[in-house]
Each structure stands twice: as structure tokens, then as C-alpha cells.
Structure 1
Amino acid sequence: MRPLLNEVQLLEDYLKGTLPEEQQLDVAVRLLWDQELQQKLARQRLAYKALRLFGRRQLRAELEAIHTRLFG
């Protein structure tokens, strides 16, 4: 995997809490000192939040369409 993709995967696993404890601590320490990594993590969190919001809106629209079909 390319280094950038590795970093994205690492941050994703960090956010999900699925890294082994030692690796989780390593990332936490890196985040204390590396502002660029902090910014990448913040952007990744924001991207996940946007995706969740979009998914909720999409689901709401689908449920409204079903309700309209069933109950006019």
C-alpha cells in the first residue's frame, strides 16, 4: 500500500480504536508532537462526520419516499 494510504488507514484504525494498544499509544504520542498529523486526523474526523450526515439525509429521504408510496 502507498505510504499515504497507510497513514489514512492508521488514522482510521486509531479513530475506531482497533489498533493494538502499543500502536494506539504510539499514534497518541505522535499526535502530541506532530501538528501535520493532528491536522490530518482532524480532517479525517470531519470527513467521517460529513459522510454520516449524508448517509442520514439519504436514509431520511428514502424513508419519506416509502411513506409517501404507502400512505400517499
Structure 2
Amino acid sequence: METKPLITLLRYAAVCGNIVFVLWILFNAMDEGFRGTLPEKLSAIGLIGLLAVNSLLLLKKSTQNN
């Protein structure tokens, strides 16, 4: 059984999930008027950064495998 299409599908699903999660974080921040304590703001920025790096690495790996 060929697993490459399944891996590619899962890779793109993970990227889409990361994008939805980042949009959800940004929506909640906008809904609160970007108010929050410094640790909350730093953790949100850090989480968005990690999700962005994860997405970029997943996309980069998928283009290298082709």
C-alpha cells in the first residue's frame, strides 16, 4: 500500500489545523481588545510563532520530497 498520499494529506491537514488555531487565537485577542497580562501576550505570540514554524517546516518537507 502506498503511504505517500496519506502522509501528504495528513501534512496538509496539520497545516490547515495550525492556520485555524492561529486565526482562533487572533479572533479571541481581537474580541478582548488585545487586553491581557504580559505573560498572556507573550505566550500567545510564542504559540503563534511555534505554529507558524511548524507549518513552514511541514510545507518545506513536502516540497523536498517531491
TM-score (norm 2): 0.51
From the two aligned structures, give the one with the greater helix fraction: 1
Name the larger-Rg structure.
1
- Alignment partner of 1:40 is 2:43: yes
Larger RCO (CA within 8 A; separation ≥ 6): 2
User: Identity of counterpart residues, as a percentage?
Assistant: 2
CA drift of 1:56 comes to 1.3
Query: What per-residue deviation string (whole Å, max 9, x for no partner) do you get for residues 4-53 of structure 1?
Result: xxxxxxxx85x3338xx8xx33xx25x51311000000000110111011
- The unaligned stretches of length 5 or more in structure 1 are 1-11, 64-72
- The unaligned stretches of length 5 or more in structure 2 are 1-19
Query: Which consecutive segments of 4 or more residues in structure 1 shift more than 4 A?
Result: none
Give the 3-state SS of the residue equivalent to 1:58 in structure 2: helix
Superposition CA RMSD, Å: 2.6
* 1:1-72 equivalent positions in 2, closer than 5 A: 13=21, 15-17=22-24, 24=28, 25=31, 28-29=32-33, 31-63=34-66
Distance in 2 between residues matched to 1:55 and 1:17, nearest whole Å: 20
Report the number of matched residues. Answer: 44
